[in-house]
Amino acid sequence: MHRLLEGHDCTTAQRQGWGGLKNGDLLARAEVEFDLFITSDQGIRYQQSLTGRKIAILELSTNDWRRIKAATALIQGVVSTLPAGEYRRLEIP
């Protein structure tokens, strides 16, 4: 994602040393350090309480890199306008 989101500071859970964390703990840690959490976990909105979160959460409908790369402009547009604390699912064509 960091290649697609130039101009933004991006990292991964693995690079942060958070690879083994479950989503609840991962979101709590990310919320302290970041403004936006991007995931392709289709169940995050059902498994986690997203209400009252300070971090924006963007759920991509796929983890297929070719489709994500092809939707770069769409993703960039959402990233630039997603307000803090909002959850949004983005359907990737």
pLDDT of residue 81: 94
Q: Which of residues 2 and 35 earns the better pLDDT score?
A: 35
Q: Which long-range contacts (CB under 8 A, 24 or more apart) does 70-76 make?
A: 72/4, 75/4, 75/5, 76/4, 76/5
Considering the domain boundaries, does residue 81 fall inside one?
A: yes
pLDDT of residue 24: 86
Considering the domain boundaries, does residue 83 fall inside one?
A: yes
The 10s digit of each residue's pLDDT in 76-86 is 999 999 999 99
pTM passes above 0.95 = no
Are 58 and 38 a contacting pair, CB within 8 Å? yes
Considering the domain boundaries, does residue 61 fall inside one?
A: yes
Instruction: Please give the Cα distance from 53 to 37 (Å, whole number).
Output: 11
**Residue 2 pLDDT exceeds 90:** no
**Residue 32 pLDDT exceeds 90:** yes
Those residues with Cβ within 8 angstroms of residue 28's Cβ, 6 or more apart along the chain or in another chain: none
Enclosing domain of residue 70 = 23-90
Q: How many domains does the chain have?
A: 1
pLDDT of residue 18: 93
**What would you report as the CA-atom Rg of the chain, rounded to the nearest whole angstrom?**
13
Rounded to 5 degrees, φ, ψ at 92 are -95, 120
The 10s digit of each residue's pLDDT in 33-91 is 999 999 998 888 888 888 889 999 999 999 999 999 999 999 999 999 999 999 999 99
